Amino acid sequence: MQEVIIVGAGLSGLATAYFLKSNGVDALIVEARNRWGGRIDTVQAAGNATPVEMGATWFADKHTYLMRLLKELELPIYKQFQKGIGIFETDASEEAQLFQIPDSEEASYRVAGGTSKLTDALAQQIGTENIILNSPIISVSELDDVIEINTAKGERLTCRYLVTTIPPFLLLSQKIAFNPPIADEVKSVMENTHTWMGDAIKFAVEYERPFWRQIGFSGNVFSHAGPAIEVHDHSNYEGSRFALIGFLSADASNMAKEEREQKVIEQLTRLLGDEAASYLSYTERLWKEEAYTFADYGKYIMPHQNSGHPLYAKPLMNGKLLLAGTETSPVFGGYMDGAVYSGLATAHHILQEKR
């Protein structure tokens, strides 16, 4: 039997295991995907191996739990490049407006080498042998003093404390069998909890050189015309690899990949000049196609709706089942900082209970 099993090897699950281990308690992580990281995934782009973020990227000084963890793990961070001219377009047929990015803009940071450096460092600290991949859980049962879980791969595991970090809406929509069932009042909050960025479309275009900087542009674009609605400079920490990164509008998911790529390049060329057409690679991720991140709500749920709801702080199954994950965090719920906070609070709770 395990003392603690954590479901999900995203930032929350990894942080929970890391904080427990720092206090002498080992945990086993059970993860559905074939990789750890969840909504954090840094990919090496095909042209020049520029590290491009398909998931979480930016954070700021106000994200104190994340900042502290990065420092503790000795992971260097650097400022997001945003010097120069920004572009705002309302309509593709109208001339775009140019604006100077003010110096007073709050600094945002990135992790040197990519955000996956953080999840990789946590996985190393925990010990990768303590992370079971490719094992979606399918049932959770309370048996006297323990909890038993079953995975789709046929594993049956028992533990004293079970921590789930699956985004709450997904936890319900996956139809995991809970015995006894989750109380209706908790279920109704879960049913209405937004999964931050769960349906985002992220893209990155890699270039040989940062041609936009050389003509005075910051790389920032905000557009109502699309398909790219937001673009940022995505050059690497060392200043040797260059890319633009951003988000596509939701309706871009109706296009074929080739069409999306072509339309993004056309838009960048229209806004930043002909050199935008000479790109090395195009990378994208449609998160709504990721079954272990997103399920269709079937209705409108506001961004961050029910993030950090107080009911998530109450353990279930007589104190043995803890609901964690960034969406349960009262501090920056939905963001990386919320995930680290959730890990810290969950580990703290278990350590207090064990005393």
Beta strands in 189-348 (DSSP E): 201-207, 217-223, 228-233, 242-248, 281-286, 321-323
Which of 290, 332, 285 minimizes the C-alpha distance to 42? 285
Q: Give the Cα separation of 260 and 3 in Å (integer).
A: 48
Q: Which of 87, 200 has the CB closer to ligand FAD? A: 200
Phi/psi at 27 (nearest 5 deg)?
Answer: -135, 155
Residues 227-266 that bind ligand FAD (CB under 6 A): none
Least distance to ligand FAD, CB of residue 177, Å:
11
Asked if 16 touches ligand FAD (CB under 6 A), the answer is no
- For residue 46, CA distances in Å to 112, 219, 277 come to 19, 21, 16
Q: Is-contact 87 217, C-beta < 8 A?
A: yes
Q: Which of 45, 96 has the CB closer to ligand FAD? A: 45
Asked if 326 touches ligand FAD (CB under 6 A), the answer is yes
Binding test (CB under 6 A) with ligand FAD, winner from 3, 25, 28, 58:
58
Q: How deeply is 125 buried, as exposed, middle or buried, from its count of CB atoms within 10 A (0-12, 13-18, 19+)? A: middle
Asked if 78 touches ligand FAD (CB under 6 A), the answer is no
In one-letter notation, the amino acid at residue 327 is E
Residues 151-180 that bind ligand FAD (CB under 6 A): 165-167, 170, 174
Q: Which of 55, 315 has the CB closer to ligand FAD? A: 55
Residue 42: CA atoms inside 13 Å, Cβ hemisphere, count? 18
Binding test (CB under 6 A) with ligand FAD, winner from 194, 202, 320, 349:
202
Q: Which of 159, 197 has the CB closer to ligand FAD? A: 197
Asked if 29 touches ligand FAD (CB under 6 A), the answer is no
Asked if 268 touches ligand FAD (CB under 6 A), the answer is no
Which residues are at the interface with ligand FAD (CB under 6 A)? Answer: 7-13, 30-33, 38-40, 55-59, 136-137, 165-167, 170, 174, 196-197, 200, 202, 287, 292-293, 325-326, 334-336, 338-339
